[in-house]
Amino acid sequence: MSGPRGLLVLRAGALTTVQDRGRPGWAHLGVPRSGALDAGAHALANRLVGNPVDAATLETTLDGVALRALAPVTVAVTGAPCAVRASGRPVAWGEPVWLPGGAELEVGRAESGLRSYVAVRGGFGVPAVLGSRATDLLSGLGPPVLAAGTLLPVGPPGRDPARGADGAGAGAGAAGSAGAGAAGSELVLPLRLGPRADWFTAESIAGLWRSGYRVSALSNRIGLRTEAGPPLRRARGGELPSEGMVLGAVQVPPDGLPVVFLADHPVTGGYPVIGVIPEGPPLDAAAQARPGTGVRFVRAGRN
């Protein structure tokens, strides 16, 4: 069975969106960055199928997705470890998988972590908005959240998915790192203090390094909310005028419990930012942290 290059959504899952590296550079127009929350897992999925790193993938949340290939395609699943099946038969997670036309790909429930990434050779060819195919849940830009019956076009294939950019086998050793960022018993977040650390008492900042928090069930693509830790107390009254926000900013609302801004964060905010978590593996891990996971902030660099 063969047809136009595309994948039909049979089961959309709790929240499955199209994501790439997002829309950096448009904050002056009020457009959030968006993009894959676990950037490392997104990049690895693309590498496994021979795509450029900025090709669009699918980001699933907790319970996966089911798709039907309308023509032969090569896919890979990374991020949160999960069972992967092709027309009912187990296939590899964290490795390239060839699907014949008509085959059904079932990405199962995350065994740890929250978000899995599905890449297809050629990338998902949905229309780009401001240079990105990412779904932004805050602004509404990009394609809508996936629903059963959605037809996802697939772009033309690129290089051989069996070989990486350096000619080495893309799958070799990849499965071990495909779940990088999956939540463990504790999420450790390096924090660079500033720009508004002076809004908080010295005792609160000292307590931040000593104390632990938990990931709140209210967390989403906009931010990781914390709970069950000591509130950070302000050293001054009043409120800030709105100022620019960046990925990884740790904002402290009136309840004193830190919020880590993730990819769909607003471009401005009026609550003080006590510090910023650098981009990279720590934020990838935050994207995979389930509610109830312990959170600990540690000093990053010189504060």
User: How many domains does the chain divide into?
Assistant: 2
Say if residue 156 is in the same domain as residue 16: yes
- Domain, as residue range, for 84: 6-177
Residues 147 and 271 in one domain: no
What's the CA angle centered on 22, arms 63 and 70, to 5 degrees?
55
Residues 165 and 201 in one domain: no
Q: Are 169 and 253 in a shared domain?
A: no
Q: What is the pTM of this model?
A: 0.91
- Residue 244 and residue 121 share a domain: no
Tell me, yes or no, whether 135 lies in a domain: yes
Q: Identify whether residues 14 and 142 lie together within a single domain.
A: yes
pLDDT digits (tens, 9 = 90+) for 57-87: 999 999 999 999 999 999 999 999 999 999 9
Instruction: Let me know: does 77 contact 68? Beta carbons within 8 Å.
Output: no
151-153, strands of its sheet edge to edge:
89-91, 82-86, 104-110, 65-69, 6-11, 151-153
pLDDT band, very low/low/confident/very high, at 151 (cuts 50, 70, 90):
very high
Within 10 angstroms of residue 256's Cβ, the number of other Cβ atoms is: 14
CB 48 within 8 A of CB 75: no
- Residue 219 maps to which CATH number? 2.40.100.10
Which of 127, 158, 177 marks a domain boundary? 177
**Each residue of 96-146: pLDDT tens digit?**
999 999 999 999 999 999 999 999 999 999 999 999 999 999 899 999 999
User: 233 and 120 share a domain?
Assistant: no
- The answer on 164 and 90 residing in a single domain is yes
Same-domain check for residues 208 and 237: yes
Do the beta carbons of residue 247 and residue 33 sit within 8 Å? Answer: yes
The last residue of a domain, from among 121, 153, 177: 177
Instruction: Clarify whether residues 220 and 248 are in a common domain.
Output: yes
**Domain limit, last residue, from 177, 197, 226:** 177
Compute φ and ψ for 108, nearest 5 degrees.
-85, -170
- Residue 148 inside a domain? The answer is yes
37 and 171, same domain (yes or no): yes
Does 1 fall in a domain? Answer: no
Question: Is residue 233 domain-shared with residue 278, that is, in the same domain?
Answer: yes
